[in-house]
Structure 1
Amino acid sequence: MISKVVSGLMGILFYRAQVFYFSEEERREFEKMYLIAATENTEVNYTSKYPKHRFIQYIAATKPVILHGSNNSEISEFEARRQTLYNGQIVNAVFGTKDGIWPLFYAVLDKKKVKGGIRNACLKVEGGSPHYFFSLNKETLDAGPWTTGMIYFLPGETFKRAGNGLVSFDEWVSETPVKPIAKVLVEPYDFLFLNSVSCHKDTESIVKSWLLYRLRTKGKNRKIRS
């Protein structure tokens, strides 16, 4: 009961992607492309007629992998680094997620053009679907901060969930170095919520950014391509 109430509140504040169902044709194509890339530890040669975000979602949902998005397309090994979890805890780890949408934000956001803070989240309510929030300040948005990037598929064996509870970020961490299994090139249009990135002031509280998120993105094209 509590989780349903919390999920309902999250649905008012944030966006939630549709549940994806994959045809047999999609599954065959996605399995074949991923198997070739994973066997050779190389980049996926994406030749499918289906949107690339569906491929990423499929691999995230069906394989024991963790996803990581980056502007850097030539990472051969991820090293543990000092970073901050969503709850403020400092860890020395490789970051990733099991979600197939959230890492696209990090892959196509040009870090060289970011001025000030990045505010974003993939929040999961226990037993429910993830909810998303993405916001940049005006200076960053005016700079045209989108670029090509890479989604890396990492082996999940050494990763553990960073947080638990009724509501938590879909963050996973590995305290040991990780070599990618495969990777796939992505463009800004592959990011489903590209047109649902809001604009915040760095001086405002994160709570205010959350409360105004849907209002600030109202009227934008938020259609999710199926």
Structure 2
Amino acid sequence: MISFILNLLFYRRSNPSFSNEELNDFEDLYIRAIQNNGVINYQYDFPKYRFIDYLIQEKNFVAHGSNIKDIELFETRKQTLFNGEYVNAIFATKDGIWPIFYAILDRSKVVNNFRNGCFKALNNKKYYFFSLTKKTLDKDPWTTGVIYFLLSESFEQTNKTRVHFDEWISRQETKPVLKLDVSKEDFEYINKISTHKPKESIIITWLLYKIRTSILGHSKRTDNFK
């Protein structure tokens, strides 16, 4: 029943195993990045989120996306968890797609608020939603950014219920080990961004998310034939 509801409301990602070619290329890229002061020079046809997944799953990293391209030390700051609880921490995730959204969304162009999430179910399936206000979307709020990779030892999962956000926090400062440039073209769900009213409840945003993205997608296809 829970899987049915999640599939009804949100988009579920496919998560195939890494091919031998991916494993060989990603391992080589990881070694070269370590030798290059942590800078990743990505030149493969595989989607970047696959390499992010590889570093998370195989090299024990968490990922953090940001517009700021020169972070040398992550420090804790007061933020809110998914449930509204305040915490002084560094936020990260063990998902390859979600941090790209944070890296490419230009916060200076956000009007009112934005909503998003990566839900993880106990069957390890992941579900996403991404929503902006119309005023934000009209500003074309996309930029380039960076995915930072931090060692996961000091991070803890914020929730372990049957369905939870793939959200991890650390309560101590930490230095990034690797960094990867990303852009709008690297975000798999760029055409799955919905719009919501600034003051509507999050439940309404969830209930209407796929309907709204379908309408927006139809509008874009119609525009292409004008």
SS of 1:157 mapped into structure 2: helix
1:215 Cα offset (Å): 0.3
1:39 Cα offset (Å): 4.3
Equivalent residues in 2 for 1:8-19, closer than 5 Å: 8-19=4-15
CA contact (8 A) 1:7 1:128 kept: no
1:84 Cα offset (Å): 0.2
Provide TM-score, normalisation by structure 1.
Answer: 0.92
What does residue 106 of structure 1 align with? Answer: 102
Opposite residue 43 of structure 2, the aligned amino acid is T
Opposite residue 28 of structure 1, the aligned amino acid is N
What does residue 188 of structure 1 align with? Answer: 184
In 2, the alpha carbon distance for the partners of 1:76 and 1:118 equals: 27
SS of 1:184 mapped into structure 2: strand
In 1, the alpha carbon distance for the partners of 2:93 and 2:104 equals: 16
In 2, the alpha carbon distance for the partners of 1:148 and 1:167 equals: 31
What does residue 126 of structure 1 align with? Answer: 122
Greater Cα shift, 28-37 or 100-109: 28-37
Opposite residue 114 of structure 1, the aligned amino acid is V
Equivalent residues in 2 for 1:56-205, closer than 5 Å: 56-205=52-201
Opposite residue 142 of structure 1, the aligned amino acid is D
In 2, the alpha carbon distance for the partners of 1:203 and 1:47 equals: 42
In 2, the alpha carbon distance for the partners of 1:206 and 1:19 equals: 27
1:57 Cα offset (Å): 2.2
Regions of 4+ moved over 3 Å: none
Opposite residue 88 of structure 2, the aligned amino acid is N
CA contact (8 A) 1:67 1:153 kept: yes
Greater Cα shift, 31-40 or 59-68: 31-40
CA deviations over 1:137-174 (Å, ceiling 9, x no partner)? 01100000011110011000100001111111111000
What does residue 51 of structure 1 align with? Answer: 47
In 2, the alpha carbon distance for the partners of 1:7 and 1:128 equals: 11
In 2, the alpha carbon distance for the partners of 1:49 and 1:163 equals: 35
Task: Give the CA RMSD over aligned residues.
Answer: 1.3
Structure 2 unaligned spans of 5+: 219-226
Greater Cα shift, 143-152 or 34-43: 34-43
Among the aligned pairs, what percent are the same residue?
A: 47
In 1, the alpha carbon distance for the partners of 2:214 and 2:22 equals: 33
1:8 Cα offset (Å): 1.6
